[in-house]
Structure 1
Amino acid sequence: MSHRTNDNSIGFFEISEDITLRRMVLRSARPRGTVLFLHGFPETLYAWKDIGAALAGDYEVHAFDWPGYGLSSRPAVDRFSYAPTDYAHVLDRYIAKADIDASRLTIYATDIGALPALLLAVEKPDIARAIIVGDFAPFNRPQFMAENLQNLKAGPAMAQVRAIMNRNRDEILENVFTRGLPKEARFDVSQEFRDDMSRGWSHGAMTTVDAFSHYYSHFTRDQDHFETQLARLKTPLKVIWGEKDLYIKKEMGAELAERVRAEFTLLPGIGHYPHLQHPEGTVDEVRASFR
Structure 2
Amino acid sequence: MKKVETNRKVHATLPARSFAARLGLTSVPRDELKRRYTQAGSRFVQIMGTDVHYIDEGTGDSTIVMIHGFASSLHTWNDVASAMARDYRVIRLDLPPFGVTGPLRNAAGVIETTDLPTYRRFIDTFMQALGIARATLISNSLGGLLAWDYAVRHRDAVGRLVLIDAAGFPMKLPIYIGLFNHAPVRLSAPWCLPEAIITSAVRNVYGDARKIAPDVLRRYVEFFHGEGTREAIGKMVPTLDFADLDTNVLDALDVPTLILWGAKDRWIPPAHAAEFARRIPGARSIMYDGLGHIPMEEAPQRVLQDLHAFLGTTDTARIPLQV
Q: TM above 0.5, one fold?
A: yes
User: In structure 2, what residue type is equivalent to 1:178?
Assistant: R
Instruction: Please give the alpha-carbon distance, in whole angstroms, between the structure 2 residues aligned to 1:200 and 1:181.
Output: 18
Taking a change above 3 Å as real, the CA distance of residues 179 and 225 of structure 1, as seen in their structure-2 partners, is closer
Does residue 45 (structure 1) correspond to residue 74 (structure 2)? The answer is yes
* TM-score normalized with structure 2 length: 0.73
Taking a change above 3 Å as real, the CA distance of residues 72 and 126 of structure 1, as seen in their structure-2 partners, is same
Instruction: Please give the alpha-carbon distance, in whole angstroms, between the structure 2 residues aligned to 1:89 and 1:189.
Output: 35
Taking a change above 3 Å as real, the CA distance of residues 37 and 259 of structure 1, as seen in their structure-2 partners, is same
Unaligned stretches of 5+ in structure 1? none
Between 1:82-91 and 1:124-133, the stretch displaced more is: 82-91
Structure 1 position 210, deviation (Å)? 3.8
1:132 aligned counterpart, secondary structure: strand
User: In structure 2, what residue type is equivalent to 1:23?
Assistant: Y
Give the greater-gyration-radius structure (CA).
2
Instruction: Please give the alpha-carbon distance, in whole angstroms, between the structure 1 residues aligned to 2:223 and 2:45.
Output: 17
Instruction: Please give the alpha-carbon distance, in whole angstroms, between the structure 1 residues aligned to 2:81 and 2:298.
Output: 15
2:54 aligned counterpart, secondary structure: strand
1:289 corresponds in structure 2 to 310
Structure 1 position 279, deviation (Å)? 0.8
Instruction: Please give the alpha-carbon distance, in whole angstroms, between the structure 2 residues aligned to 1:281 and 1:234.
Output: 26
Figure out how many residues of one structure are paired with residues of the other and give that number: 272
1:219 corresponds in structure 2 to 240
Taking a change above 3 Å as real, the CA distance of residues 94 and 182 of structure 1, as seen in their structure-2 partners, is closer
Are the equivalent residues in 2 in contact too, given 1:119–1:226 (CA < 8 A)?
A: no
* TM-score normalized with structure 1 length: 0.80
1:107 aligned counterpart, secondary structure: strand
2:44 corresponds in structure 1 to 12
**Superimposed CA distance per residue, residues 49-98 of structure 1 (whole angstroms, 9 cap, x where no aligned partner):** 23221222211111111111112142347774211332232222222211
Does residue 84 (structure 1) correspond to residue 111 (structure 2)? The answer is no
2:147 aligned counterpart, secondary structure: helix
1:252 corresponds in structure 2 to 272
Does residue 266 (structure 1) correspond to residue 297 (structure 2)? The answer is no
Are the equivalent residues in 2 in contact too, given 1:35–1:59 (CA < 8 A)?
A: yes
1:159 corresponds in structure 2 to 183
1:23 corresponds in structure 2 to 54
**Superimposed CA distance per residue, residues 147-192 of structure 1 (whole angstroms, 9 cap, x where no aligned partner):** 454565xxxx533454687644522443333327676x7312361x
1:110 aligned counterpart, secondary structure: strand
Instruction: Please give the alpha-carbon distance, in whole angstroms, between the structure 1 residues aligned to 2:290 and 2:51.
Output: 37
Instruction: Please give the alpha-carbon distance, in whole angstroms, between the structure 2 residues aligned to 1:44 and 1:94.
Output: 16
1:277 corresponds in structure 2 to 298
Are the equivalent residues in 2 in contact too, given 1:177–1:273 (CA < 8 A)?
A: no
Does residue 188 (structure 1) correspond to residue 212 (structure 2)? The answer is yes
**Identical pairs, percent:** 21
User: In structure 2, what residue type is equivalent to 1:189?
Assistant: A
1:34 corresponds in structure 2 to 63
Flag the structure with more relative contact order, 1 or 2, with Cα contacts below 8 A and sequence separation at least 6: 1
Are the equivalent residues in 2 in contact too, given 1:239–1:257 (CA < 8 A)?
A: yes
Unaligned stretches of 5+ in structure 2? 1-8, 11-37, 313-323
Are the equivalent residues in 2 in contact too, given 1:84–1:215 (CA < 8 A)?
A: no
Instruction: Please give the alpha-carbon distance, in whole angstroms, between the structure 2 residues aligned to 1:165 and 1:249.
Output: 27
User: In structure 1, what residue type is equivalent to 2:305?
Assistant: D
2:162 corresponds in structure 1 to 132
